[in-house]
Amino acid sequence: MSYLQISNLSKSLGRAEVIRGLDLAMDHGEFLVVFGPSGCGKTTLLRLIAGVIKADGGEVAIAGESMAEVEPEHRGVAMAFQSFALYPHFSAFENIASPLRADGLAEREVKQRVQEVAGMLRITNVLDHMPKELSNGQKQRTSLARSLIRRPRVLLLDDPLRNVDAKLRYEMRIELPEVLRQFETTVLYVTQDFKEAMALGDRVAVMLDGAIRQVDRPANIYRRPADLDVARLFGDPPMNLIPTRPQRHNGGGITVRLGESVLDAPGCPERLLDRECVVGIRPEDVHFLDSREGDCLPVRLEAVMPLNVRTAMLVTAPGALELTSSAWDIREARDEENDTAVRIDLNGAVYFDPDSGQRVQ
């Protein structure tokens, strides 16, 4: 039995069915990221777990106990939001202490607990500061400390890095899992940024249209997305998705046609022979060549986009084939030449059924 078990959960808001038979299970102490585009129902899911709204059907259970009849304040669930929501007229200390004050804890105990949490989040030295004197990073941690002070069994984080600047977001992406591990709490973290999902989660659940489409380690979702929607969402630059019809090559291996070129497709499932399908190729598997040689596609370079350490290149091949290629630090050499060639490595390619969208194994 999992620590947090969500079974066949459903919820409609007005006429819209926001959560549709959602299943999700988490182990104790796990850090799970729910990743999905805005409007997929992520926030509603968190509100259902917290108990702020009631489900129409299905169940949330924590540590084997159904939460159906348990009031929000008795669930041991804490929630932190995008906006820091600190009380402006309280010091950082009083902000963090506020849930304990509401519980009527003794002053000594309050002090000790705040010090303990503040120490782990490294904000001890700003506890007497007012919110307006705190940097955004300190506000973030103060807000986090407040949600952790009651030692929740489950911590829900709703896109907490959305409104912070890029630098802090990067640092927090690295630090958060480390920091939260100390609390041994079960963390469900919601984001619409795939990089954040990949960086943060032991496991990632991809959520779309009110249901979970895939739960796996981030690297596995990246290489083997469950369906076309997941493939489109996961990756920057996104995966190339090209309609094709695999053929048997002179009684030998399977080939696919991309634009006007026919390429060996070693990993293509047999049952896709002579059927319409979509082949998914990661941009880093489209390699630029120095000259046109062997098994290559002649291409025209349309746009070069440096992306921090990698560079994405948009190219077109004969047959109106649009491809994105990505490479490690080669920007300069490619800027000048317009006509070049690429080699496509199909070893890591994935194949999808165009009707159901499902990946074909």
CA 207/CA 200 separation, integer angstroms:
16
What residues numbered 103-142 form the site for other proteins, per CB under 8 A? none
- Contact letters for other proteins, residues 295-314 (x by CB under 8 A): -------xx-xxxxxx-x-x
What minimum distance in Å lies between the beta carbon of 322 and other proteins? 9
Q: For residues 317 and 261, is the Cβ–Cβ distance under 8 A?
A: yes
Q: For residues 155 and 188, is the Cβ–Cβ distance under 8 A?
A: yes
CA 4/CA 32 separation, integer angstroms:
11
CA 84/CA 56 separation, integer angstroms:
30
Q: For residues 70 and 51, is the Cβ–Cβ distance under 8 A?
A: yes
Q: For other proteins, which stretch binds (CB under 8 A), given 99-107, 165-173, 240-248, 249-257?
A: 165-173
Dihedral of the alpha carbons of 158, 160, 163, 167, in degrees to the nearest 10 = -150
Residue 20 interacting with other proteins (CB under 8 A): no
For tokens 């907490």, the residue is 160
Q: At what angle do helices 92-103 and 136-148 cross, to 10 degrees?
A: 10
What minimum distance in Å lies between the beta carbon of 103 and other proteins? 34
By C-beta, is 245 or 300 nearer to other proteins? 300
Residue 1 interacting with other proteins (CB under 8 A): no
CA 13/CA 294 separation, integer angstroms:
57
Q: For other proteins, which stretch binds (CB under 8 A), given 26-34, 144-152, 324-332, 345-353?
A: 324-332
Residues with Cβ within 8 Å of residue 332, at least 6 apart in sequence: none
Residue 193 interacting with other proteins (CB under 8 A): yes
What residues numbered 33-62 form the site for other proteins, per CB under 8 A? 37-38
Per DSSP, 14 falls in state: T
Residue 78 interacting with other proteins (CB under 8 A): no
Q: At what angle do helices 92-103 and 107-120 cross, to 10 degrees?
A: 130
Residue 194 interacting with other proteins (CB under 8 A): yes
What minimum distance in Å lies between the beta carbon of 306 and other proteins? 5
By C-beta, is 167 or 271 nearer to other proteins? 167
Binding residue (CB under 8 A) for other proteins from 20, 111, 151, 232 = 232
Number of residues lying near other proteins (CB under 8 A): 47
By C-beta, is 94 or 229 nearer to other proteins? 229
Beta bridge partners of 258: 261
Q: For residues 295 and 343, is the Cβ–Cβ distance under 8 A?
A: yes
By C-beta, is 103 or 322 nearer to other proteins? 322
Residue 202 interacting with other proteins (CB under 8 A): no
CA 105/CA 184 separation, integer angstroms:
22
Residue 325 interacting with other proteins (CB under 8 A): no
Q: For other proteins, which stretch binds (CB under 8 A), given 7-15, 73-81, 120-128, 164-172?
A: 164-172
CA 9/CA 59 separation, integer angstroms:
6
Residue 355 interacting with other proteins (CB under 8 A): no
Binding residue (CB under 8 A) for other proteins from 210, 225, 237, 259 = 237
What minimum distance in Å lies between the beta carbon of 326 and other proteins? 6
Q: For residues 204 and 32, is the Cβ–Cβ distance under 8 A?
A: yes
The residue ranges that bind other proteins (CB under 8 A) are 37-38, 165-167, 170, 173-175, 177-178, 192-195, 198-199, 218-219, 222-223, 232-238, 282-284, 302-303, 305-310, 312, 314, 324, 326, 328-329, 331-332
